[in-house]
Structure 1
Amino acid sequence: MRLFSPFIIILILLAACSADKKATKAFRYGKYQSAIDLYKKQLSDKAKAPRANYFIAESYRLSNRIKEAEAYYEKAGGRGINKDSIKFYYVQALKANGKYNEARAQLEDLSKNAEEEKVRDRAKAELDGLSYLENLKTKASYYKVKNLELINTPSSEYSPAFLNNELFFTSSRGNGKIYQGNGTPFTDIYKVASRGANVDLATLAPMPEGINSENINDGCITFSPDGKTMVFAKGNSGKKKGGEDVDLYISRFRNGAWQAPVPLNINDPEAWDSSPSFSPDGRTLYFASNRKGRGRDKTGYGGTDIYSAQMDSRGRFSRVKNLGPEINTPGNELFPYVAEDMKLYFASDGHPGFGGLDLFVVMRQKGRTVIENLGEPMNSSGDDFGIFLFKADRGFFTSNREGGKGDDDIYTFVNEDPDLKVVNYYLQGITYTKDSVDNNQILPNTKVSLVDANGDVLQDFVTGNDGKFLFRIYDNEDYNLIGQTDGYLVKRQTYSMRGKGVDPTTLKELVTNITYDTIMILDRIELNKIFVLENIYYNYDKADIRPDAAKELDKLVQLLVDNPEIKIELSSHTDSVDTEAYNLDLSQRRAQSAVNYLVKKGIESQRLVAKGYGESKPIARNTNPDGTDNPVGRQKNRRTEFKILAIGVVPKKVEESEDEEFDEDKYFRGSGN
């Protein structure tokens, strides 16, 4: 019997240890194709095979090839590896390969027997999703799809964008060096002349050097509506300290050329930031990111989430905001796109889908956010993503479904729904202030926010020198408009679309745009400036707050909440009926009653001063020149006002009493007329 020497055994063990380290290092640094190749060499070792299968499966999943992961998840295991996690991703691989019955069986077991509650909950949600798909398949689909064969190759083509009769897309064609993250060549951005979906292949060309970079993945491009600003993703050099190295870059078109791109300030250096898309007005940038939670507006809900960022008049981005749990899930949401009708489209593997990434659309219906799967044939068991509409009923998207020319392919689609009618409602307005002679004067650089009935901010707009703002609004919804700029009181006013919409069936055009007009007048913050509160009435000889007066005082409560830096005097005035002393006492009681109401509504008492002026400051005649009664004048004199006493007040926190609640009935007295 031949025996190995101790020296040979040590060499074998060292070689095995070195191979393990190489595989682990490749996986850790996102070189997934290298990891796959290294771990496959361990499959013949029965002791290492279960763990090797797991890392091969994970490498395929993390490099967007989950179809190929199925066989490896089925055999995966090993010490320290979560079995429930293996089974959950095995389900995703089964769905990606169209094996829905097998996926259902795995989910039923997982929903009952998974150790962690959150895994059981996700499994139950996936089961509900399979039932949703069965119902979805029964609905009529008017979509027709077609492979855009002229530009697709055995390489990857994805993320189409259309501008000024040119189709832009990302492709791995023409690059020899392999990116170790997924085993395919690095990607560049290309463009080709196109009349809709009719491309002129003779014009196909890569974007210029500086936009594309050698041995760097460049892709996922978007343009501002005027075509002068471009944002795209760049990264994955293979030399990263980790796998998350994709950032967003911006370039501007000046003097006939694209300027050198620079990173956007909204990038997270530790995260993957990609798939950007401008809103139709060019003021909002949507993108996907796997950044960690850092405060309320950046809290992630899963893998990759969709975020928005606002662009100001100088082209700078700020106010990054997560779109929230209605859209983002524990899975991955990415490739956002907002069409001309302001519907948000995106790709997700977290919402109920056919497998891999599916295409979804977000709509507003009766004040609610409704998310719908676009169904087949737009979606398949593969990855379907990167949608772009060049008309209201047609556009492009990306898919790696069966029957394509290679990896990811670009497809065209048309929506042949005979009842398709797009009605876009817009609210346009101008921000003003009053000049010295009480005329309207345009107020520029004002932030105007559109807020829905639930208090959620739907859109922000910063006015330019013309003071104009524009919002997309929806039928049968109620809104608040909030205007604010330095040196002026925050203004809040309502706008309702109830009863203003049109019946789409009466329209002949595919797209109809309807615009409504409004104005917003902001008041300058000035010491001793007086504002009259409308409709603050009291019953005769009473100081109790009537229900109709309470509604008006609630508006003052909101104004004080919106403008926490001001202190006011709340004053009450009477007409000249009864004695001067009596009227002075009555007005003081009324002013104090109003102040008490505001305090009970949460306004700090140190911000309020009650003052009764009686009949001493009339704004109209109480009697006519002939001495007869002037009821109109007396009505004007019976008024409530507030005056700004101080600016820059720092409110003191008032502890709420636990044993005393505000009894509104105590303040609602009288018949009200």
Structure 2
Amino acid sequence: MKVKFSLYTLILISALAFLASCSNGYIKSGDREYENLSYSKAISKYEKALNGQPDNLDVKLKLASAHRQLNQSEQAEKYYREVADSIDLPMEDKLNYAQVLMKNNKYDEAKPYLQQYIDANPSDQLARDLLASTTSIKELKEDSLAYMLTPLPLDFTVSMFGPTLYDKGIVFAGETEITSAAATNPWTGYSFLDMFYIEKDGSGNWDIPTKFAPELNGRFHDGPATFNAAQDMIVYTRSAMKNEKKQLLNEKNENQFYLYQSEKVDGKWSDPAELPFNSTSYSVGHPSLSADGKTLYFSSNMPGGYGGSDIYKSSYDGTNWGEPINLGKTINTSGNEVFPYVSKKGKLYFSSQGHQTLGGLDIFMSENRSGIWSAPVNLAYPMNSSQDDFAIAINDNDTTGYISSNRSGVDMIYEYTQVPPTFVVEGIASLKANTLPIDGVVITLINLTDGDSARVTTGKDGKFRFNLLPSKSYVLKGNKEGYFKVSESFQTGNKPEEKTINLKFDIDEIVESDSGTGSGNPADGSGTASKTYDIGEVFYDYDKSEIRTDAKPILDKLVKLLNDNPKINIEIQSHSDSRGSTGYNQGLSNRRAASVLNYLTSKGIAKTRLQSKGFGESQPVNKCVDGVECSDAEHQKNRRTEFIVLRENKL
């Protein structure tokens, strides 16, 4: 047995040694691919290495970084988390991990990593801006029904971004499945970027995209582009070339990009020519021509900026380009500002990771007022998301257009339609007992006509606000754990004077009965403490227990409350005044409580959720007991119907 055991042990050790040896080989191979920016290939090698070394934290950190470079934030988070759970992350990786968490909507988790990085790097403005962004998320994420986004189909390309208006459709940059090894972009494993054209058919559906001006597409990356108003001049981004076969790379082994210009003469595009401010020392790209064609806006990481890539402009007189001018610190930050776009109205749109964002790149808008750029405004959700959102293009009608986003996990173009916020609903969620505002109430607006929905969470002021569409039916719901759910239905008309609908949600805290029995709150202090909820003034005819017509609207509110809160059971409690004998009042209150129960069941409330109990004159809310002279109004306060929440149906 000892011989066999030793043999098995030897085989096992040999196998483990072989796996470790293979893993080391995969790690070295993965490192080479990573250094060459072949991130998709590097990931494949590192994953194989983990088969033999599943606890190798260094490999996991490299996997996290490679996935982050490919904008695969969920996969990146997985590996960053595994490393962070075992060791203290290197400082630079804390910043990277925080940005990944923000892209995955995990803003609170990102905060401590950002703070740790700032503590070690107090002068890093980008990290400070990112931390500030985590506190403004609520406002930026408020859903708006005023924009509707529809993705363009990926029928031919595997990704698409950077739309620009051309002819009857758009020209965009896209990549496709590889057709040959020579045409493979090592960064992604797909093709290099080419320019494509797509338009809608007669039925309003998008056609299959075709390559735009193949004579302008080079060996490596081409696009995105911009056109003058006559559409006979194009300026577009293109890979900088070291020679005819090799791209120009910077000291970080990253691609360099140039801007090229071409004119259409007799229906043919001229040979592309470099713009004069291209340089081997930095990149220029993402061009956008103003409506008059006299100013080109673009992004560059040229020296002298504010950090990362900045937005610049260059004047054009029809022949010569002026020296690039940085748009200044109002627009540019220590982070990246990219993909500028100037609308026909002269508004500047651009994407930034340095201004307060939802995570990744967000689209901002600024206006030039007497030569001064206004503070950029975040377009907010749904135009922006926690992922990268960039490269907007606006149609002539100014209410529709296109944006690019990788919110689905891959770069896609979304067609958007802006619906003017003709109608507004606004209000406050407050505590019913004292009208103080309540924070943390989830307010959901549902468009019953179209099926759309929007959601916000109230802050300390309890306020909420939604844009609405005309001629629609809506329901507004309020929900916070430990409180009764509330809802309100309403409709919007077509009259312009009915633009604002004001609602107030009075919300009551749920307090369950300690005993599960309706012992109530007697005036003498006896009994088990529980909270009773006043239904309202339910009037009965003298010496009667039937529900009167004028009491039904009051009870219908209770029906609505029970429908809004299907998990609660209640006990209906009826009380009488002290006039009449004790025994008679007890029986009368029993019958009245039972009448309320029967009314609720007739409205569809399950009887298993209800109990009824009469208390007669035993629990007055004032001094009006036997022998005390009181007015009719004082006696009326004791003739009341209430309910308590029972424990049986656990919330």
Q: Is the alpha carbon distance of 1:150 and 1:74 closer, same or farther for their aligned partners in structure 2, counting shifts above 3 Å?
A: closer
Shift of 1:25: 3.2
TM-score of the superposed pair, with normalisation by structure 1: 0.53
Q: Is the alpha carbon distance of 1:190 and 1:29 closer, same or farther for their aligned partners in structure 2, counting shifts above 3 Å?
A: same
Q: How does 1:554-573 map to 2 (within 5 A)?
A: none
Aligned to 1:192: 198
Q: Alignment partner for residue 293 of structure 2, among 272, 282, 305?
A: 282
Q: How does 1:120-135 map to 2 (within 5 A)?
A: 122-135=126-139
What CA distance in whole angstroms lies between the structure 2 residues aligned with 1:265 and 1:250? 10
What CA distance in whole angstroms lies between the structure 2 residues aligned with 1:65 and 1:377? 20
Q: How does 1:80-119 map to 2 (within 5 A)?
A: 83-111=90-118, 114-119=119-124
What CA distance in whole angstroms lies between the structure 2 residues aligned with 1:69 and 1:154? 24
Aligned to 2:227: 223
Q: Is the alpha carbon distance of 1:60 and 1:263 closer, same or farther for their aligned partners in structure 2, counting shifts above 3 Å?
A: farther
Q: Is the alpha carbon distance of 1:69 and 1:153 closer, same or farther for their aligned partners in structure 2, counting shifts above 3 Å?
A: farther
Q: Is the 8 A contact 1:42 1:48 kept in 2?
A: no
Aligned to 2:389: 384
1:179 aligned partner, one-letter code: N
Shift of 1:270: 3.6
Q: Is the alpha carbon distance of 1:136 and 1:63 closer, same or farther for their aligned partners in structure 2, counting shifts above 3 Å?
A: closer
- 1:244 and 2:275 are equivalent in the alignment: no
Aligned to 1:317: 321
- 1:399 and 2:405 are equivalent in the alignment: yes
Give the paired residue count: 402
Q: Is the 8 A contact 1:143 1:413 kept in 2?
A: no
Shift of 1:265: 2.4
What CA distance in whole angstroms lies between the structure 1 residues aligned with 2:99 and 2:334? 14
- 1:171 and 2:161 are equivalent in the alignment: no
Aligned to 2:490: none
Q: Is the alpha carbon distance of 1:418 and 1:195 closer, same or farther for their aligned partners in structure 2, counting shifts above 3 Å?
A: farther
1:338 aligned partner, one-letter code: V
- Cα shift readout 1:14-43 (whole Å, capped 9, x = no counterpart): 977765554333323322222222333333
Q: Secondary structure at the match of 1:313?
A: coil
* Larger proportion of strand: 1
What CA distance in whole angstroms lies between the structure 2 residues aligned with 1:17 and 1:69? 22
What CA distance in whole angstroms lies between the structure 2 residues aligned with 1:360 and 1:378? 10
Shift of 1:150: 4.6
Shift of 1:162: 0.5
Q: Is the 8 A contact 1:53 1:77 kept in 2?
A: no
Q: Is the alpha carbon distance of 1:218 and 1:281 closer, same or farther for their aligned partners in structure 2, counting shifts above 3 Å?
A: same
Q: Is the 8 A contact 1:335 1:346 kept in 2?
A: yes
Q: Is the alpha carbon distance of 1:157 and 1:105 closer, same or farther for their aligned partners in structure 2, counting shifts above 3 Å?
A: same
Task: Give the CA RMSD over aligned residues.
Answer: 3.8
- Cα shift readout 1:295-349 (whole Å, capped 9, x = no counterpart): xxxx1333322222222331x3231222233222222221110111211111122
Q: Percent identity?
A: 29
Q: Alignment partner for residue 37 of structure 1, among 32, 39, 44?
A: 44
Q: Is the 8 A contact 1:66 1:356 kept in 2?
A: no
Q: Secondary structure at the match of 1:146?
A: strand
Aligned to 1:205: 210
- 5+ residue gaps, structure 1, are 294-298, 421-673
Shift of 1:9: 13
1:162 aligned partner, one-letter code: L
Q: How does 1:359-370 map to 2 (within 5 A)?
A: 359-364=363-368, 369-370=374-375
Q: How does 1:399-418 map to 2 (within 5 A)?
A: 399-402=405-408, 407-418=410-421
Aligned to 1:616: none
What CA distance in whole angstroms lies between the structure 2 residues aligned with 1:197 and 1:342? 33
What CA distance in whole angstroms lies between the structure 1 residues aligned with 2:203 and 2:83? 44
Q: Is the 8 A contact 1:233 1:276 kept in 2?
A: yes
Shift of 1:99: 1.8
1:331 aligned partner, one-letter code: G
What CA distance in whole angstroms lies between the structure 1 residues aligned with 2:327 and 2:365? 14
Q: How does 1:321-336 map to 2 (within 5 A)?
A: 321-336=325-340
Aligned to 1:606: none
Shift of 1:374: 0.3
What CA distance in whole angstroms lies between the structure 2 residues aligned with 1:244 and 1:257? 29
Q: Is the 8 A contact 2:340 2:348 kept in 1?
A: yes
Q: How does 1:317-466 map to 2 (within 5 A)?
A: 317-364=321-368, 369-391=374-396, 392-402=398-408, 407-418=410-421
- 1:55 and 2:66 are equivalent in the alignment: no
Shift of 1:77: 7.8
Q: Is the alpha carbon distance of 1:412 and 1:73 closer, same or farther for their aligned partners in structure 2, counting shifts above 3 Å?
A: same
- 5+ residue gaps, structure 2, are 1-5, 424-651
What CA distance in whole angstroms lies between the structure 2 residues aligned with 1:349 and 1:197? 39
Q: Is the alpha carbon distance of 1:47 and 1:68 closer, same or farther for their aligned partners in structure 2, counting shifts above 3 Å?
A: closer
Q: Is the 8 A contact 2:306 2:333 kept in 1?
A: yes
Q: Is the 8 A contact 1:157 1:172 kept in 2?
A: yes
Shift of 1:240: 5.2
Q: Is the 8 A contact 1:329 1:350 kept in 2?
A: yes
Shift of 1:151: 5.7
Shift of 1:183: 2.4
What CA distance in whole angstroms lies between the structure 1 residues aligned with 2:59 and 2:257? 28
Q: Which has the larger radius of gyration?
A: 2
Q: Is the alpha carbon distance of 1:368 and 1:245 closer, same or farther for their aligned partners in structure 2, counting shifts above 3 Å?
A: closer
Q: Is the alpha carbon distance of 1:14 and 1:317 closer, same or farther for their aligned partners in structure 2, counting shifts above 3 Å?
A: farther
Q: Is the 8 A contact 1:175 1:187 kept in 2?
A: no
1:118 aligned partner, one-letter code: S
What CA distance in whole angstroms lies between the structure 2 residues aligned with 1:187 and 1:197? 29
2:257 aligned partner, one-letter code: V
What CA distance in whole angstroms lies between the structure 2 residues aligned with 1:287 and 1:195? 32
Q: Alignment partner for residue 272 of structure 2, among 261, 264, 277?
A: 261
What CA distance in whole angstroms lies between the structure 2 residues aligned with 1:141 and 1:365? 28
What CA distance in whole angstroms lies between the structure 2 residues aligned with 1:233 and 1:48? 43
2:381 aligned partner, one-letter code: E
Aligned to 1:306: 311
Shift of 1:86: 0.9
Q: Is the alpha carbon distance of 1:39 and 1:331 closer, same or farther for their aligned partners in structure 2, counting shifts above 3 Å?
A: farther
- Cα shift readout 1:392-414 (whole Å, capped 9, x = no counterpart): 22211112223xxx722211112
Shift of 1:55: 2.6
- Cα shift readout 1:255-274 (whole Å, capped 9, x = no counterpart): 21112223322222243332
Q: Is the 8 A contact 2:331 2:373 kept in 1?
A: no
Q: How does 1:546-585 map to 2 (within 5 A)?
A: none
Q: Is the alpha carbon distance of 1:356 and 1:124 closer, same or farther for their aligned partners in structure 2, counting shifts above 3 Å?
A: closer
Shift of 1:69: 1.6
Q: Secondary structure at the match of 1:381?
A: coil
Aligned to 2:148: 145
Aligned to 2:187: 181
Q: Is the alpha carbon distance of 1:158 and 1:239 closer, same or farther for their aligned partners in structure 2, counting shifts above 3 Å?
A: same
TM-score of the superposed pair, with normalisation by structure 2: 0.55
Q: Is the 8 A contact 2:152 2:206 kept in 1?
A: no
Q: Is the alpha carbon distance of 1:42 and 1:12 closer, same or farther for their aligned partners in structure 2, counting shifts above 3 Å?
A: closer
What CA distance in whole angstroms lies between the structure 2 residues aligned with 1:417 and 1:273? 36
Aligned to 1:158: 161
- Cα shift readout 1:200-221 (whole Å, capped 9, x = no counterpart): 516x42123322235x222211
Q: Is the 8 A contact 2:297 2:341 kept in 1?
A: yes
Shift of 1:379: 0.9
Q: Is the 8 A contact 1:229 1:250 kept in 2?
A: yes
1:126 aligned partner, one-letter code: L
What CA distance in whole angstroms lies between the structure 2 residues aligned with 1:280 and 1:384? 23
Q: Is the 8 A contact 2:284 2:298 kept in 1?
A: yes
- Cα shift readout 1:62-95 (whole Å, capped 9, x = no counterpart): 33334432122224589x9972221111111111
